[in-house]
Structure 1
């Protein structure tokens, strides 16, 4: 446990991972599916049938501070919960780069919610702060399936978005 200037106890990353039963995620960080819409009919998409909606916890830590570039087919709404701010880099199909910081300092322009449309390349980075982690949730519709996710490669994204080659190099696994 650490204590900030307001004498508020901040649990460490391991305690949060254990309390929320999180597991490592292939894009980096940790996650756990918390919801899928089992009481609704499945939705038919190009890749097959999907739940109407799914939701997860997603945690970045000082030891796993990057959610590497990846593309999802479904729309995702992110909800900031606690810990350090998380910076998102979004590359749209036309090459437009949008950088958004999720965090609790809404006066400074940080967002509590972030919508990322399907088909947008997304990466996230843990920023500095009092905690050693940042925790969000994601609601995905149609529901998330790993078959609808593509991990970015430096080569592919570097060719597709040469203007963002440095960022791509920093936020891809290979």
Structure 2
């Protein structure tokens, strides 16, 4: 076996990632603490924060969640990741982040604040997908809402099957 083979478990170890509440693994890698804080409705926030975010075969879903801040996603390596976005008007947008740009995959993805977003690892040979996210105003868990399956299926019944697949059953 090649000792330099990249696997999900050695990425978790080398990048010092921990489980994320929405699924997958993460670690904050940057916060703009050299700049003045921004005043938001939710309180003071860093101008920008950034994380690594990893989905794995064992934790392949970042369940539906809602953020107040804008997020830029950057694909790094591994298998493609599909993003499902429920826009304010209830329409669904599906995009794939990955390295195959000739097939229409995205290396970058902007998700404005105020959008329900979920992600899932697509089948591939690696068993993981690694991205980074830059968040502005900076991420704070107080500005995030994890999707409640019952609430989302009531609000967006046309997306029931997708919502059921990309949320946890907490009823």
The two structures, once aligned, show a CA RMSD in angstroms of 1.3
Q: Partner residue of 2:57?
A: 62
Task: Tell me the TM-score normalised to structure 1 length.
Answer: 0.95
Gaps of 5+ in 1: 4-8
1:36 aligns with 2:31: yes
CA distance in 2 between counterparts of 1:157 and 1:93 reads 12
Which structure 1 residue ranges, 4+ long, deviate > 3 Å from structure 2?
none
Gaps of 5+ in 2: none
1:154 aligns with 2:149: yes
Task: Tell me the TM-score normalised to structure 2 length.
Answer: 0.96
How far the C-alpha of 1:10 sits from its partner, in A, is 3.8
1:34-62, Cα deviation, whole Å (9 max, x unpaired): 00001110000000000000000000000
Query: SS in structure 2 opposite 1:69?
Result: strand
Cα distance, 1:42–1:61 mapped onto 2, change above 3 Å: same
CA distance in 1 between counterparts of 2:53 and 2:107 reads 14
Q: How many residues align?
A: 169
Query: SS in structure 2 opposite 1:52?
Result: coil
How far the C-alpha of 1:2 sits from its partner, in A, is 7.0
Q: Partner residue of 1:49?
A: 44
